[in-house]
């Protein structure tokens, strides 16, 4: 795996404060996808959540169907469909329809469900949701391939079921399994030869688990006769960058405290700071633990090199989107990634920089050659216009 192949995207749960109109927030999220598409990002992931207040999209498929009409090239990814909440046939039907509507830009991300409050409202046993997700994926993938499935469990029944539309992509959209620090995600992904989405990759537990994550994923795939590729491994972490570290810290005063409060009170992602800490203390804890990058493009570049070395290489970096900064500064953060971080990792400016150094190193020689060429033309002109000597 070569860093020059690294893709960039955004992972949008989303996280919005509870004091704005949902209609306005949905439109803003769609504008963000359009912005990312314009400036060259590769993937956009959107989640499924039903409670907690801040994560405001219950149907990623509905949202992605809308933005498919407003974008041209960016991949549209479910991040993720919480499988235990659904019938497997209706999941396969929605994904195949979206695959056709987007002309093959869909990536199908799946997981067992992350919010405990969602699991409770759906009446699911939290001790069984991973088992349920595995059983569901076992039949959804054959459905996506166009196979007919008969299956009965204690929580769903399929009788001669088929996803009649078939997929736009052959044999079906890429399937990607969500993972945290436990072996469950990489094991399930390996079982099906699926891609992997490492949520919380920048937390201490997530970062420490990256080496073993690959071993589990690759090992399970080999057992099942599959081959997995690091290019289908996505790592997720929160970022806000600006021209200076001072400006980045100033920008996140807008919404970082509310985000931390949400994770401490509602969600399950471990955050290395406290609600009642000062803003500077919160930022210092987030940055110092490696959980977040709040700084400059160079800070993000350095962190990506660390993640690359720790994991052995991965295919796509996903910025965990948030409202730490206002919308304009959030868009600017992504622009700085496109302008400076992407070309650094891709060595996209290498040719130009080497060309400049080469031209500078040989400037004296080139100027001398130019001066001789100019003088030659002067000499030619003088010779042509020389007056004959008087008799």
On whether the CB atoms of residues 204 and 272 are closer than 8 A, the answer is yes
Both 312 and 361 in one domain: the answer is no
Domain that holds residue 372: 352-384
Both 204 and 114 in one domain: the answer is yes
Please name which of 56, 146, 128 lies closest in space to residue 85, comparing C-alpha atoms. Answer: 128
Q: How many helices (H) and strands (E) does the chain have?
A: 16, 12
Number of domains in the chain: 2
Per run of 10 residues, the mean pLDDT along the chain (length 391 residues) is 94 96 98 99 98 97 98 98 98 99 99 95 97 98 98 98 98 97 96 97 95 97 98 98 98 95 78 78 94 98 98 98 98 99 92 94 95 94 82 56
CATH for 136: 3.20.20.30
What pairs with residue 234 in β-bridges? 197, 316
Q: Strand 316-320 and strand 239-241: pairing?
A: unpaired
Both 339 and 375 in one domain: the answer is no
Both 301 and 380 in one domain: the answer is no
Both 251 and 116 in one domain: the answer is yes
Instruction: Judge whether 391 lies within some domain.
Output: no
Between the alpha carbon of residue 257 and those of residues 117, 203, 221, 330, the distances in Å are 22, 18, 41, 16
Distance CA 239, CA 330 (A): 10
Instruction: Judge whether 209 lies within some domain.
Output: yes
Both 142 and 47 in one domain: the answer is yes
The whole-model pTM stands at 0.93
Both 77 and 23 in one domain: the answer is yes
Both 365 and 290 in one domain: the answer is no
Both 235 and 136 in one domain: the answer is yes
pLDDT at residue 114 in the model? 85
Model pLDDT for residues 126-166, shown as the tens digit of each residue = 999 999 999 999 999 999 999 999 999 999 999 999 999 99
């Amino acid at each position: 795996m070569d860093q020059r192949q690294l893709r960039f995207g955004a992972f949008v749960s989303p996280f919005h404060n509870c004091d704005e109109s949902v209609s306005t927030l949905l439109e803003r999220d769609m504008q963000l996808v359009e912005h990312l598409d314009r400036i060259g990002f590769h993937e956009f992931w959107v989640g499924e959540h039903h409670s907690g207040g801040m994560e405001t999209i219950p149907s990623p498929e509905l949202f992605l169907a809308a933005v498919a009409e407003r974008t041209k090239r960016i991949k549209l990814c479910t991040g993720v469909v919480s499988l235990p909440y659904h019938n497997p046939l209706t999941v396969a039907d929605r994904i195949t329809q979206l695959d056709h509507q987007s002309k093959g830009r869909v990536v199908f991300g799946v997981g067992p469900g992350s919010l405990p409050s969602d699991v409770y409202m759906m009446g699911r046993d939290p001790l069984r949701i991973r088992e349920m997700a595995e059983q569901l994926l076992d039949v959804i993938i054959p459905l996506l391939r166009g196979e007919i499935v008969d299956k009965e469990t204690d929580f769903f029944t399929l009788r001669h079921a088929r996803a009649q539309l078939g997929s736009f992509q052959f044999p079906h959209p890429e399937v990607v399994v969500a993972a945290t620090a436990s072996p469950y995600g990489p094991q399930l992904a390996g079982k099906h030869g699926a891609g992997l989405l490492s949520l919380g990759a920048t937390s201490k537990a997530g970062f420490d688990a990256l080496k073993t994550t690959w071993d589990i994923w690759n090992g399970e795939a080999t057992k099942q006769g599959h081959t997995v590729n690091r290019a289908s491994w996505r790592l997720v972490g929160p970022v806000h960058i600006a021209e200076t570290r001072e400006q980045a810290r100033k920008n996140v005063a807008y919404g970082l405290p509310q985000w931390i409060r949400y994770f401490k009170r509602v969600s399950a992602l471990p955050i290395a700071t406290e609600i009642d800490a000062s803003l500077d203390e919160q930022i210092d804890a987030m940055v110092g633990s490696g959980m977040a990058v709040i700084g400059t493009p160079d800070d993000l570049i350095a962190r990506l090199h660390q993640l690359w070395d720790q994991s052995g290489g991965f295919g796509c970096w996903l910025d965990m989107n948030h409202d730490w900064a206002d919308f304009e500064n959030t868009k600017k953060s992504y622009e700085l990634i496109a302008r400076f971080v992407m070309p650094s990792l891709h060595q996209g400016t290498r040719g130009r920089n080497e060309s400049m150094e080469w031209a500078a190193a040989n400037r004296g020689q080139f100027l001398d050659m130019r001066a001789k060429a100019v003088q030659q033309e002067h000499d030619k002109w003088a010779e042509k216009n020389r007056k004959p000597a008087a008799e």
